Structure 1
């Protein structure tokens, strides 16, 4: 049961009073060996009232860069607010994290089963418990993800264009890019949206990889948001982004015209012009050397770093229309 009464916060049947720190276990099921598995929920409350901010990561078990961002928020004490409450769940899909898998052991993608059910699949039960025991108490949510299948995402936020408050919060966060995208059905973001819970979804890096630059963008953006909400401790410095955020209305994927060995020659976040060479597809025998050219002018917001590609594979994600 989750509630806040007389400034006493109750999460997972545990009371947290102003000024208290608590670590609570978000337990759903044991391992198949009957060994218990704990998903820590780390809660820090200030004596002074204020917003409740929820930081989450690891909805996909292979997206370790997001886990690292939340870990740093905790390790550096950024999660200890001067006002309000900060809740951190560094690894939601602990089963996938243990097994180095994106999905749950039942093969389901947690981010496609929300809001879940109490008697459904393992993934569905985790989604249900998160939505009923944690999310209702949050005023703001920041959820951290990375690119999948060897594709490296430039640090970016994904929000719906029509939401004015999210647009303002995205400007405060200061990621290099904001990509306007619709909420996917049965996703965590869409379910929170239906509940009226503002969420910033951060994407950066790739699976099974921790990138220092991406991590820094995630940590610094979180600090800016907390400062904006009057929650960040005065001992932390907050720097302005080096560049203005680029807001992207539309984007497109550049796909491989041939199968073969792939090497990108353009860096992530680069601005390219139509016709620029972005990389090459070759074969192992020295007969094929196919240049991959930009179909339009725009920013490179995702690069496929896999050395082997098949015809039709996504190679680059390129902005096509910017917000004016």
Structure 2
């Protein structure tokens, strides 16, 4: 049987182990550890990493991994599952996307053992976990007051990424290039395929996004022959090739009249901007035929603010061509 080592510890067949990676300590001398839960089956199979909390305020991903642990879904029949519910413990404790020095962990890879806090977190992940896995899912949400409809992001020129994304079968699969110094890019340089799952917004539980994350993970496990059953998708998976933002032309109060996941047509009225004093009202219209894959839930907006994220699949491109 192949050897499974995580953070320098061998995981034997049939074993479940909690491993704590010490990152640093606070000025109060409080140690900051990143907990890792590893469950290995008796039979050989792939090693799948489930990683959440890269940004400390993105709690939907943490809840996906927590539910997988709570329901015993990490106990697969073949292979091993590595669960990391909270990568950025600093950010989680401070309700923050970043670490205390203001840096983004997901822009700090491959990291440095003696660098910034964010760089140290990235370093430990790249040296203690990533070299020893086969595949990974990196769970994220939208930013502050921005909700993402359940979606997988991956570089779709890679056939294996396409295979993994199709197996996960989220409502949307988005062709997303690598971000500089991100986990996904640096892992790919080590020959590891990691897809990103996005759902909901930061600091707010989204039941649909959480359950889609759990179900999609099970479908991917089944595809990798780690388990024998997984739930069928509730929605058709649509592959998004291009994305754009509808932006506010004026400052004011924004009220959408469409929902995340909905198909909108070019020129369709998708929301209204008013001012607090009743002096003007402006209709916001879609600039293309596309699906709403993300929404700004903040009612108070400034000129140029992103209001909704639109994504086009091949069907949308065909529909718009016919409309034009």
- TM-score, length basis structure 1: 0.95
1:164 has 2:156 as partner: no
Spell out the pairing of 1:44-193 with structure 2 (5 A cutoff).
44-193=39-188
When the two chains are superposed, the root-mean-square deviation of aligned CA atoms in Å is: 1.3
Kept after mapping to 1: 8 A contact 2:248/2:307: yes
Kept after mapping to 1: 8 A contact 2:99/2:117: yes
- Which residue pairs with 2:202 in the alignment? 207
- Which residue pairs with 2:321 in the alignment? none
2:103 and 2:120 mapped to 1: Cα distance?
A: 12
- Which residue pairs with 1:217 in the alignment? 212
1:208-263 CA-partner distances (Å, limit 9, x unpaired): 0111100111000000011111112x5xx522213321101101111000101111
- TM-score, length basis structure 2: 0.95
1:259 has 2:251 as partner: yes
Cα displacement (A) at 1:7: 3.6
- Which residue pairs with 2:240 in the alignment? 248
- Which residue pairs with 1:3 in the alignment? none
Cα displacement (A) at 1:274: 0.9
Cα displacement (A) at 1:167: 0.7
Kept after mapping to 2: 8 A contact 1:7/1:17: no
2:6 and 2:71 mapped to 1: Cα distance?
A: 24
Cα displacement (A) at 1:8: 4.0
5+ residue gaps, structure 1, are 1-5
Spell out the pairing of 1:309-320 with structure 2 (5 A cutoff).
309-320=301-312
How many residues align? The count is 316
Give secondary structure in 2 for the equivalent of 1:131. Answer: helix
- Which residue pairs with 1:238 in the alignment? 230
Say if 1:64 and 1:284 are closer, same or farther in 2 by CA, change over 3 A.
Answer: same
Kept after mapping to 1: 8 A contact 2:167/2:223: yes
1:262-285 CA-partner distances (Å, limit 9, x unpaired): 111101000011111111111110
